[in-house]
Structure 1
Amino acid sequence: MGWAGIGRLVVFALLVAFLTMPDAFAFVFEPLTENNAPAIYNQGSLWSLTVSHLTIVFGAGLASTVLAVALGIFVTRPSGLEFLPLSRSLVNIGQTFPPIAVLAVAVPLVGFGEAPTFIALFLYGLLPIFENTLGGLTQVPPLTLDAARGMGMGPTRRLFSVELPLALPVILAGIRLSIIINLGTATIGSTVAAKGLGEVIIAGLQSNNLAFVLQGGLVVALLAVLIHGLMGGIERFALRRLGGERGGALA
């Protein structure tokens, strides 16, 4: 394990310790408080808020992945090529409208809570996954596809045995980008009563307590670093496995 891996383990241990025993870190945040304000967020459990935050981010990420990958596959098939402009327009909706605007539209339809936040994150996360799926599938070498046809593979088998495995590292990079973006974006969900780390930040802003603001922002930032590292490791593993399979095929 390299220094980067050791550093991530240390960060993970500190984050877990802070979330499970936040009062032990009060001395770090006390200089940021005024008028005997609490140094540690005391209006809820930091651990449960973090779990809620991650649940909605990964839930929306899973939904975005399913739709974006399916669309990417569809528009790279001969029968779906003509739908590429329409598909691009659909996945661009989340990036065209700010998440706060999506929340404003969604709240009258589905009410307050996690539902409007889920919708905003789902729409916001589509574009990077779709574009990477599209890029990964269209970059599969034609000679490889010709070889698969020569081996008697039909379209479905080529897709799942050749195209998707070759495109997987690129698709994973899109999923990683989508998740990291939405980790920060999810904090706005607290404006519509969704449980998450944005609740800590908003409480700090309302009470002029910088300690709360720093706690919420710091936890989100550390989660982003850890998840970025974890998903980057999965991408590297997929690349190494892909390289090994290519080497085995050439041998």
Structure 2
Amino acid sequence: MSIGLVIRLLVLALLVAFLVSPESFAFVFEPLTKNNQPVIYNQGSLLDLTLNHLLIVAIATALATTVAVGLAILVTRPFGAEFLPLSRSLANVGQTFPPVAVLALAVPMLGFGTAPTLVALFLYGLLPIFENTLTGLTGLPPTVTEAARGMGMTGRQRLVRVELPLALPVILAGIRLSTVISLATATIGSTVAARTLGEVIIAGLLSSNTAFVLQGGLIVGTLAVLIYDGLSAIERALTRRTGQGARANA
């Protein structure tokens, strides 16, 4: 077992221990409080907020992946090539509009809560997945696709059995980037009453309690690093398995 893996497992264990029993870590954050402020976030369960935060990110990323991969497949087929500029423009929408602006536009239609946050994260996560899928599907060695065609495979068979499996490491790199972006961006969902770790940070800012701000930031940051490393490991394993070089845009 490598030292890096041991460190990651230790960090994960510490994170879980903190979420399950945050009071046990009060001595770490106590120096950051003043005027008898509460040391540990006490307006809700950190564990529940973390799980809800992850659930929102997972749903948004799954939706973004479905749409972005579908669009990339469409525009790399002969019948859909003419839609490439339009698809790229749609994927760029989320990056063009700041998530806060998307929330402001979505709230009047969807109300407060999780829904506007999902819309913002979905739009913000489209571009990296779309571009990486496009790169993965268009960057395959011509000899591979020609060999598949020579074996009598239909277009659908080539896509499912050859193109997507070989492009998977690059696609996963886009999903990894999108997920990490969404983890951080989801915190702003608390401004429209979504239950995310942004609640902890906002509560700390409103009460000038640095301990709260640090707790929310550390949880989000740690989750981002662990998920990034985990997806990177899967991506490397797939790259070795398929024999493809790293072509990820991340």
TM-score (norm 2): 0.97
The aligned counterpart of 1:191 is 191
Distance, in Å, in 2 between the alignment partners of 1:156 and 1:62 is 23
The aligned counterpart of 1:249 is none
The aligned counterpart of 2:35 is 35
1:239 equivalent in alignment to 2:242 = no
The aligned counterpart of 2:64 is 64
Gaps of 5+ in 2: 245-250
Distance, in Å, in 2 between the alignment partners of 1:156 and 1:236 is 26
Moved >4 Å (runs of 4+): none
Distance, in Å, in 1 between the alignment partners of 2:117 and 2:167 is 30
Distance, in Å, in 2 between the alignment partners of 1:40 and 1:32 is 11
The aligned counterpart of 1:103 is 103
The aligned counterpart of 1:202 is 202
Q: Deviations over 1:70-116 (max 9, x none)?
A: 00000000001000000001010000000000000000000000000
Q: Deviations over 1:98-146 (max 9, x none)?
A: 0000000000000000000000000000000000000000001111111
The aligned counterpart of 1:87 is 87
The aligned counterpart of 1:163 is 163
Distance, in Å, in 1 between the alignment partners of 2:35 and 2:198 is 24
1:230 equivalent in alignment to 2:248 = no
The aligned counterpart of 1:118 is 118
Q: Deviations over 1:203-235 (max 9, x none)?
A: 000000000000000000000011011111110
Secondary structure in structure 2 of the residue aligned to 1:92: helix
The correspondence of residues 138-149 of structure 1 with structure 2, limited to 5 A, is 138-149=138-149
The aligned counterpart of 2:247 is none
Code of the aligned partner of 1:84: L
Identity of aligned residues (%): 68
Distance, in Å, in 1 between the alignment partners of 2:90 and 2:210 is 39
Distance, in Å, in 1 between the alignment partners of 2:171 and 2:145 is 19
The aligned counterpart of 2:55 is 55
Secondary structure in structure 1 of the residue aligned to 2:231: helix
Gaps of 5+ in 1: 245-251
Code of the aligned partner of 2:232: G
Code of the aligned partner of 2:59: G
Shift of 1:3: 1.1
Shift of 1:171: 0.1
Code of the aligned partner of 2:132: N
The aligned counterpart of 1:219 is 219
Distance, in Å, in 1 between the alignment partners of 2:144 and 2:233 is 26
Shift of 1:243: 2.5
Distance, in Å, in 2 between the alignment partners of 1:146 and 1:240 is 22
Q: Deviations over 1:50-88 (max 9, x none)?
A: 000000001100000000000000000000100000000
Q: Deviations over 1:158-193 (max 9, x none)?
A: 001110011000000000000001100000000000
Code of the aligned partner of 2:92: N
Aligned residues: 244
Distance, in Å, in 2 between the alignment partners of 1:184 and 1:4 is 24
